[in-house]
Structures are given as C-alpha cells and as structure tokens.
Structure 1
Amino acid sequence: MTIDKRKLLVAVVVVVIAAIVAIQLNLEPKYEKIVHAGKQIGDNKSGDMMAELPGQFIVASFTGFKQVIAGALWVRADEFFHRGHYHAIVPLVRMVTWLDPHNIDVYTTGAWHLDYNFVDYANTLSDKRYIPASIAFMKEGIRNNPNIWDLYFELGWTHYARKLMDNEMAAYYISEACKYDSVDVNTGAKQRRPEFVDRMKAHMLEKVGKLDEANEQWFAAHKRASKALEDYKKNPKAADWIDQSTIDLCNRNQSLLLLRRGWRYGDMKSYEQGLEIAERVKSPADWVQATSSARKDFESRKGKHWEGDAAKPVDAKFNASWLRAAPRVLVIKGTVNIIQASEYKGLASESFTRWYAENESAKADSKVKWRDGSRVYWRLQDADYVMPDVNKFDWTTNLENTVAWGDIYVGGGSFLTKLDMSDPRDLGMYPLKAEKYKLTIWMEPTDPGMPDFVQDRVGWRGEALMDKECIDTKTRPGYRLLKKEFILSRSDII
C-alpha cells in the first residue's frame, strides 16, 4: 500500500470514528430513556425489556448506520410479535423511530400491532392495556412528521374512531389531516392528499352531530375533487387520476346528509336542498328512481306540519344481564326493542329506501320482523381503572390491570356473547387481581352502534329513544344512550 493510500485510509477511519462517536452520544441518552420506560411491573413480565435485544444495539453502537439498524430492529420487532413477546415491542419500535423518525410505516404498523394484534386465545380480543401506548406512539410520530396528512388520519380513524369509539377526537385529527398533503419518501416531492381523507372528515363531523359543518365539508370536498378532475383532463400525465365517480360520490353523500335532516327532524329546507343535489347524480338507475320517489314525498309534505320521523318516541325496553357460566367465564345477554320492522311504516325515509314496502311484499318465509344490525357494547375493568393520560404517558403498561371490551350483534331484538378468561395462555391478559370490577353494557345511537337505517327512526343522537330505567344522558351530553352498570366482586368471576 502506498503512502498516499495509507493517508487516505487513515482520513476515512478518522471520519467514520468521529461519526460513530457523534451518533453514539446522541443514542446513549435515548437508549437509557427507553430502558427506563421499558421496565414493567407484573408477575408475568418484569425487568428490562431491552435485555432481549443485545445484538442489534451492539451493532448500532459500533456502526452508526441509523437507517440500516432501524430496519434490522424493525424486522426483529416483527419476530417478537409473531413469537408473542408483546412486552418487548413498545421500546423496540420506539428505538426504530428514534433512529429513523420519518419512517411513517413504522408508526402506523407499530401502533396497529399495539392496538389490534395483541390478542387472547379464547376470544380473539385485543389487549386494551396497550391502547395508551399505541396512541402516544402515533402522537410521537405526528410530532416528528407534523406536515403530512398520513399520521393524523391514522390516529383519528384507526385508533380513536375504530378502537376507542371516540368520534369527537377522531373528527379532530381527521380535520387536522385535511390541512396537509404528503411527501414521496423516495424523491421528497409533494404528493396530493387522497380524496377519501376529505370525505371522511365530513362523515366524522356528521357522526358528532355537527351537521352544518359536515354539509360545508361536503361542499369543500366536492370543490377540491372538481378542481382535481379539471387538472387531470388538462394534463393526465402530470395530475393524479380521478373521474366523475368521485364527484358523484360527494354529491350522493351530501344529499343523503341533507335528506336525513329532512326525514328525521322535519327540516323541509334541508329536504329540498338534498333533493336538488341528489338529482344531479344520473346513475345508477335505482338512485334516480329513489330520488324521484323522495321528490314526490317532499311535495306531499309541503305546507303541512311535520316534526320528522325521530319525533315519535321508541320504548327501547333495554334489558341486560350477566352470569358466571364457569370460573373466569361470563355470559352477557339481553333484549332491546331496536328495532321492529313495523316502526318503518310511513317513515319519510321509506320513500327513498322502500325497505318496509319490499319486506311487506316478500314471501312469508322471507319476511323479517326486525331490522337487525345494531351493536351492544360491553366493558369489564377493575372498578378503579382509569385509562392513562396519553399526553403524560410514561410508556409503562401496568400488566396487573384487567380491562377488556367488545361488542355484540343485535338480532331479533336480543343479544348474547361469552367472555372466556379461563384459557391458561390468557391469564396474563386477564390477571383479575382487583377485588372489585365494573361491568358496563350499553348502546349508543351513533354508527356502528346504530346504523343509518336505525338512526332514520331514532335520530342521530337517539332523540326518539325512551326507557324507564336505562336512559343515560350524562356519558355523552346531547346524546341518549341505553346503559346498565354492574359491580362484580372477584369471587363473582373466579
């Protein structure tokens, strides 16, 4: 080796060592922070969760190739998931994102694992104790990537709406998503936000009862899609693909929002506005026919006093109970008057849907007595359990807590499910160490608890719902829920 080559090699080594030292100094306090946060207290898992990961961190310490190591750790996280070592995933995915904080897939997939995929064997229910970690992880991703729509939407829809059933927070984060576009991870070029994000904002505003704002958002989504269609027609190669079906989708959804305001509350102005928008859509044929039928219904009601379909009370007759079928096995069952087919006779919405008329004309063996499809929710938890504040979350998951929830399909006016906590493989998920437990069984008028066709009878907020014992107006102010609560002792379950 010549002297010049030796000098060049020495220079390269010096640069590499300097880079390693700089990265190591940056990683060390973060590693210590994760180690501290990863310590768990519980019989089934305790101590330093990072102890299972020595190889990767040794490599990370002596190379400094952040993204390469992040990729290796992400592969290892997937291995831990498939092996059922869930306790190790939280600190591991956080280290991945500290090494590569702009890898959006790690945030979305890691949070998905935490929220959905840590399931028990007997019921395929996810471990709800990891939800705070999931949401905190997504919020950390947003802090590291604040100017793209992706993580705001994922947090709002996948986690708040679908897992926590918190439509208010879902509406907030999906609204935030509508402020941003995205970035191509390979080129750094700006990418246009997909149309469905703006449509979902309108849907979520509707779910939380902000009907005027939802209507305005449909106008905004329509305008945005129309502009995109114009751009695409002018230059198909330079613009994202879009066609008339996207415009029609906005029109159909906005018209249904306004039509339902008319049907449910007797709002004739909204009814007429909804028809005007619906009549712009020229296909499919059944849509055109339904719109024409609704127009006739509207004309027949003009000038007449009409309070809407949700004005007539519905006695829900909600009854829910539980029993211990075996040690650690609970059966939850009940009945509810949601909703008999006869309730649809004469509804304004029937002019559009014609469900009642078609059911009445069906053969005897095909005719149904109930409009099925609602959901009853249940939740079992330690009586004093409070979900950690995700804004102050210290990444510690208390595995001594018991908290579980799910939903039950309502068919024929009744519901039934079994919660089996007896499988030996599930004892860590259901430790049942508290002396008292709270079991809550409830229904709420928002979709999917009560689908649109049920809301056509009871209203967006359950305005028509009545019950002598089970009406709850405190849990969600402005809404009428059906709810029963029970306090169980440990001996009731064990």
Structure 2
Amino acid sequence: MAEGKRKGLIALLVVIVVAIVAVQLPIVPRYNKIAGSGKNKSEGAPGDLMVQLPGQFMIASFTGFEQVVAGALWIRADDFFHRGEYQAIVPIVRMVTWLDPHNIDVYITGAWHLDYNFVDEANALSDKRYIPVSIALMKEGIKNNPNVWDLYFELGWTHYCKKMNDNAQALEWISKACEHDGVDPNTGQKIRRYDFVDRMKAHMLEKCGRFDEAIAQWEKARAITVKAMEANKRKPGSAEYVDQGSLDLCDRNLSLLLMRLGWRYGNMDYYRRGLEIAETLKSPADWVAATRAARKDYESRVGKQWAGDTAKPLNTAFQVSWLRAAPQVLIISGKLNLIQASEYKGLASESFTHWYATNEASGARREAWRNGCRVYWRLEDYDYQMPTLETVDWKIDRSRTVAWGDIYVGDGKFSTKIDMGDQRDKEMYPFAAGKYKLTVWVTPEDPGMPDYVQDRVGWKGEAITDPNYLDTKAHPGFKMLKKEFILRRSDII
C-alpha cells in the first residue's frame, strides 16, 4: 500500500473513532438510565453472564461500545434468519445478551428461535432438545430485567403454554407478569402493561380449573380497563390500546365463563350472573339473540333439579396402536368417540350456540361428528428427563432422542406418520438408546378439546369414561386417556 494512501486511511479511521465517541458520549448516560430501570438490584451484575467471546467483542465491551456492537450483531442475526441459516443465530444471541442484557427483544426472539426454528425435514417437528436452553435464556433475561412484564409473559405463554402445553407453569409465569408494568425503550419511563396480560391470566386460571379465581381475575382486569379509560378521558393518550372494545371483551369473556359453569355443572347462580352481564352487551346482533335464547333456557330450569350437561357419562372408546412402516418411520392410529353430533341434542349450551339445530337443518351437509379434538404423542429415550439448566448452554446432548406432536381427530378417527428416517434428520433422531417410551394421550384441556367439546365433557373431563385407558393420576383433578408403549431400538430401526 502506498504511503500516501496508508496515511489517508489512518486519518479517516481517526475521524470515524472521534465521531463515534462524540455520538456515544451523550447516549451512554441516557441508555444507562433506561437500562437501570430494569436492572436486578440484588442478584449480581451482567458480568455474571460472561461467556467466551471473540477478543474484539471483549474490547468493545470494555471501551463503552457494547450497545453499538450488540446492535450490529443483531442486524447480522436478522440477515442469517432470512437466509435460513439458523445455527449461526444462536451464538449471536449469546453475544448480544452479554453485551446488552437489557434488550428484552433479543431474549424473546432468541428463545422463540430456539423453540421453533430447528425443525426436521420430514415432519416440520421442532427439536425439543432445545426447549431447556430456550427456557434458561428467558429466565436469564428475567434475572437481568426483573421489573418489566414482557419476559415473564413470554415465558408463560409462548413457551410453557403453546410449546409444552403446561398450563400450570404458564399460569405461574403469567401471574408474575401481572405484577409488573413496562418500560418505554425510548425514555426509560414506566408505562402500563398491556391489558391482554391480565386477561390472559384469567384465561389460564380457567384452563387450570380454578374457576372462582378466574372470575375474580376477569373482574380485576375489567377494573383495570375502566381505570385506564377514565385516565384517557382526563388526559387523552395516557393509556394506549384501551377503549370500549377492551371493556366489552372482559364482559363477554366473564359472562361466557359464568354461563358455561351453569351449563356444564348446573350452577344456576353462575348461570344467572352470566346472563345479567351478557344482557348488558347490545351488539353484535347474534350475541343479543343468543343471550335472549339462553335467558329462556335459564327460566325453564329455575326450581328444577339439574346437574348440568357434563353429568351424563360419555364412553370415549379410545383405541390406539402403532406400527413400523419403514426403518425409523412409525404410524400411530386409532379411534376416539369425541364427539358425535348427537351428543349435543338437548344441551343447555345449545340454547346459546344453536349448533345442533343448525346442523340438523343442513340436509345433505349434515355432519355426524363435531371434529376438532387432538390426540398427543411423545416418543423418547426410556429414561429421558428434560434437563433443567441453571445457565444458558446451547450445546445440547445430541445422543438423546425426544419428539412429540399432536394428531387431529376427524369423524372419530386419527392417524399420523412420523418419519424419522430422513438422512438430513439423523442428528435430531440418533436412536442411540436401547429402549424407548411411546406415550399417546388425550387431555380435556384446550386445545386438546376445544370449548365446544368441553361443553359436553367439562373443563376437567368430568363426563369422560373409558374401559381401558382412563387416567386420573397423571393430572390430579382431571380425567385423561393414556396409553404407554415400550419399544426396543430394533422395533424402530
């Protein structure tokens, strides 16, 4: 390189460094103010999260450019994502969270990426071995940002509820989210959490069968909405994303919960209270008509002995089997009596939904079944236990095999093929163990059974009976159907 060009580049570099410093100096105090609002004051500094990073990132962190480097890395991660190079994103997430531990979007996106984006080629099933890493990353984010609602909620909803179908854990973390407000990323000022957080806690309480607490939570969520609407009247814009529709949403959900407690279990006091709330809603027209019909049903039952729609037992006649269709290819199939259309005749909920009457009047299009239930399956090493990670470590144990999914039930039947033999998926399905456990089950919890199926069997499966596979121990207080098979490696390979 010519001497003149070299001196020119050096001069340009000096100018760039001076410019960056000039920009960074006024930004750092403001950023520290914002970041400090989410810091954990009692459990150590971000340095606790230190991992082995390339030297240039270490130097950057010690010279005050952490956020600049973190931002550049995150832009690079987005590029990898859109190119489908998912493996490259994981170490970048680790670097960014070390450099900028108060960027909650990185924790949320990184954990979602671990949970959902590592999928096999044949089935589009995600690699469940990454779930412990995802949860550990979210908990690390919570440790570094304990005073905002976002990470608590995402851990409960996205990971425990949607990914693991663990409503109890989902409720625990969403409840913690309801203890915190948010922080404006631009000013560092505290802002009210979104109303859907408190509403989701009510939904989760209902899913867990804690009905009185769910009712109380809907009333609390409603009161929060009313308070925000009043604040908006005094100072327009002081409470964003809240209006009359938010209030109607609380009333609609609370009234349905109360009416369903009446329909399903014969609790006339709940039925009455639900109707009184439903009747305050003057739109849409079909809601008003349905409420009017439910009022007539209620009046017809007053003073009469009635145990509710779930009191009548329903034999599910569950059957399930598996077969090896090819090396590392399994087919799971069976039958499930959920749910025949005839089961809806005369149900109290029909006064509101009119599904049975509409179906009967549809002539040749009449359906014999009300479809939509799900059967769940899980295949794993016989001794597999999902690890609990104290710190984030994405180097998963690739000798382990664990997979699960669900199967749609249509017209009382279900079937699925699980292809684990594609050579592109051999790292995801190593089958290194000698013995495996295949569990197939049905749970009354949504989405295993939609609300219209629960109208017949109950939130906890109270109406369910089965001569062979009824399980009341796996989830105390709930009725499940479960069958477990023990497979040898030779059965699969």
Report the Cα distance in structure 1 between the residues aligned to 2:429 and 2:81, rounded to whole angstroms.
19
Q: What number of residue pairs does the alignment pair up?
A: 454
Letter in 1 for 2:448: G
Deviates more, 1:332-341 or 1:92-101: 92-101
1:192-271 superposed matches below 5 A: 192-271=192-271
Pairwise CA distance, 1:60? 3.5
Kindly tell me: are residues 234 and 84 of structure 1, through their superposed partners in 2, closer, same or farther at Cα, counting changes over 3 Å? closer
Q: Does structure 2 retain, via aligned residues, the 8 Å contact 1:107–1:137?
A: yes
Q: State the match for 1:286 in structure 2.
A: 286
Deviation at 1:58, TM superposition (A): 6.8
Structure 2 SS opposite 1:304 = coil
How far apart, in 1, do the equivalents of 2:354 and 2:46 lie? 64
1:125 aligns with 2:125: yes
Q: Please report how far the alpha carbon of residue 57 of structure 1 lies from its aligned counterpart in structure 2 after TM superposition.
A: 3.6
Cα distance in 2 for partners of 1:255, 1:288 equals 13
Q: How does 1:307-456 map to 2 (within 5 A)?
A: 307-364=307-364, 366-391=365-390, 396-456=395-455
Cα gap change, 1:149/1:30 in structure 2, threshold over 3 Å: closer, same or farther?
A: closer
The alpha carbon displacement at 1:181 in A equals 1.1
In the TM superposition, what whole-angstrom CA distance separates every residue of 1:434-462 from its partner, at most 9, and x where no partner exists? 11111111110000000000000000100
Structure 1 pair 105–336 and aligned structure 2 pair: CA distance change class (3 A): same
Q: Distance in 2 between matches of 1:305 and 1:136?
A: 52
TM-score between the two structures when normalised by the length of structure 2: 0.87
Q: 2:292 & 2:47 partners in 1: Cα distance?
A: 69
| Superposed CA RMSD | 2.3
- SS of match in other structure, 1:146: coil
Contact 2:46 2:144 in 1 (8 A): no
The answer to whether residue 179 in structure 2 is matched with residue 179 in structure 1 is yes
How far 1:243 sits from its partner (Å)? Answer: 1.9
Give, in angstroms, the shift of residue 390 of structure 1: 3.8
SS of match in other structure, 2:398 = coil
**Structure 2 equivalent of residue 23 of structure 1:** none
Structure 1 214/179 Cα, relative in aligned 2: closer, same or farther at 3 Å?
Answer: same
3-state SS in 2 of match to 1:460: coil
Q: In the TM superposition, what is the alpha-carbon distance from 1:65 to its structure 2 partner?
A: 1.2
For each residue in 1:452-478, what CA deviation from the matched residue of structure 2 results, as whole angstroms up to 9, or x when unmatched? Answer: 000000001001100011111111111
Q: Distance in 2 between matches of 1:27 and 1:309?
A: 55
Residues of 2 paired with 1:27 and 1:232: CA distance?
38
Name the stretch that deviates more: 394-403 or 344-353.
394-403
- SS where residue 447 of structure 2 aligns? coil
Instruction: Give 5+ residue unaligned stretches, structure 1.
Output: 1-8, 20-25, 36-49
Confirm whether residue 154 of structure 1 aligns to residue 180 of structure 2: no
> Any idea what SS the aligned residue of 2:120 has?
coil
Distance 1:144 1:28 in 2: 11
**Corresponding position of 2:31:** none
| Contact 1:319–1:335 (CA under 8 A) maintained in structure 2 | yes
**Which residue does the alignment assign to 1:109?**
109
- The amino acid of 2:300's aligned partner reads S
2:189 aligned residue:
189
**Structure 2 vs 1, CA of residues 433 and 84 (structure 1 numbering), >3 Å: closer, same or farther?**
farther
Q: Which amino acid aligns with 2:316?
A: A
Q: Tell me if the contact between 2:255 and 2:274 (Cα under 8 Å) persists in the aligned partners.
A: yes
Give the whole-Å Cα distance in 2 for the aligned partners of 1:451 and 1:402: 30
Note the residue ranges of structure 2 that are not aligned, 5 or more in a row: 1-14, 26-44
1:389 Cα deviation from its structure 2 partner: 1.8
- Which position in structure 1 is the counterpart of 2:466? 467
Contact 1:56 1:69 in 2 (8 A): no
**Bigger mean CA offset, 88-97 vs 370-379:** 88-97
C-alpha distance in 2, partners of 1:323/1:304?
Answer: 52
1:140 maps to what in 2? 140
Going from structure 1 to structure 2, the CA distance change for 1:241 and 1:82 (only over 3 Å counts) comes to: closer
Q: Distance in 1 between matches of 2:461 and 2:216?
A: 23
| 2:225 counterpart SS class | helix
Length-normalised TM-score, structure 1: 0.87
Residues 295, 397 of structure 1: CA spacing in aligned structure 2 closer, same or farther, 3 A cutoff? same
Residue 480 of structure 1 is matched in structure 2 by 479
Give the C-alpha shift of residue 30 in structure 1: 5.4
Contact 1:111 1:135 in 2 (8 A): yes
Q: Deviations over 1:277-333 (max 9, x none)?
A: 111111001101111111111111111111110110000011111111111111111
Q: Which residue of 1 aligns with 2:274?
A: 274
Cα distance, 1:62 vs structure 2: 7.6
Paired residue type of 1:143: K
The code of the aligned residue for 2:386 comes to M
Q: Which amino acid aligns with 2:296?
A: K
CA distance in 1, matches of 2:291, 2:478: 30
SS at match of 1:381: strand
Q: Per-residue deviation at 1:82?
A: 6.0
How many angstroms apart in 2 are the aligned matches of 1:280 and 1:61?
58
